[in-house]
């Protein structure tokens, strides 16, 4: 993992919507808001494979990967991402995931647990405010808050 940085500008976040998911709106807003908060965002858009996240993170020496999944197949699509990161040498990279991760309205604690067990660092429920995610990122990456 890279050294802590003191300024958002040099913090790089990879974003994208995983799997066969085409929900583009949240991804656009997420990216806009992250950039507004001063992060350097590598947005892979929709329909992103696990490999693409990893390649992008390696290439840009990213500080975190933010995975979105809206369409319900998130559980299937996200499985194995942590292991692949490990294999690629991204051993400690924070994996943050949010959206409508599973099919249907399920108890969020259960869903959260499943994703934490899959190796995710932080899991957000449906319709989470991006501001929250940004605050978390700043804390996690020890960014000086403005």
Partner 1 sequence: MEISNKKLSNDSFFAEREKVLNQWKTGKEVDFKSSVEHQKSIPAEKRFGLKLADAATKGLTLIQPRAGVALYEEHINLLKYLENEGEADLLPTTVDSYTRLNRYNEAEEGINKSKETGRSMLNGFPIVNYGVDICRKVTSALKKPLQVRHGTPDARLLTEISIAGGFTSYEGGGISYNIPYSKNHSIEQTISHWQYTDRLIGMYEEAGVSINREPFGPLTGTLISPCLSGSVAIIEALLAAEQGVKDITVGYGQCGNLIQDVAAIKSLESLTRMYLDKFGYTDVRVTTVFHQWMGGFPQDESKAFGVISWGAAVAVLAKATKVIVKTPHEAMGVPTKEANAAGLLATKQLVSMLRDQDLRTIPAVIAESEIIGEEVKCILNKVEELGKGDIAVGTVAAFEAGVIDIPFAPSKYNAGKVMPARDKMGAVRLIDTGNLPFTPEIKNFHRGKLEERAVQEKRPVSIQMVIDDVYAIGKGFLVGHPGKR
Question: Catalytic residue numbers?
Answer: 21, 23
CA distance 100 to 81: 18
107 binds ligand B12 (CB under 6 A): no
Beta strands 40-43 and 12-17 are: parallel
What SS3 state is found at 115?
helix
Residue selected from 72, 79, 108, 119 as contacting ligand B12 according to rule CB under 6 A: 72
> According to the binding rule CB under 6 A, does residue 99 interact with ligand B12?
yes
93 interacts with, out of ligand B12, partner 1, none, CB within 5 to 8 A per kind: none
Question: What is the closest distance, in whole angstroms, from the C-beta atom of residue 29 to partner 1 in the complex?
Answer: 6
CA pair distance 134, 108, nearest whole angstrom = 20
**CB-CB contact of 96 with 63 (8 Å):** no
Q: Which of 11, 14, 30, 44 binds ligand B12 (CB under 6 A)?
A: 30
């Amino acid at each position: 993992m890279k050294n802590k940085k003191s300024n958002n500008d040099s913090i790089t976040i990879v974003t994208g919507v995983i799997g066969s998911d085409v929900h583009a709106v949240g991804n656009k807003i997420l990216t806009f808001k992250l950039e507004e908060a001063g992060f350097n965002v590598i947005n892979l858009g929709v329909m992103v494979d696990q490999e693409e996240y990893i390649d992008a993170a390696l290439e840009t020496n990213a500080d975190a990967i933010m995975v979105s999944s809206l369409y319900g197949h998130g559980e299937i699509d996200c499985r194995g991402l942590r292991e692949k990161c490990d294999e690629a040498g991204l051993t400690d990279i924070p994996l943050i995931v949010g959206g409508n991760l599973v099919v249907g309205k399920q108890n969020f604690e259960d869903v959260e647990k499943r994703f934490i067990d899959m190796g995710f660092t932080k899991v957000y429920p449906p319709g989470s405010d991006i501001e929250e995610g940004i605050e978390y990122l700043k804390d996690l990456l020890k960014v000086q808050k403005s």
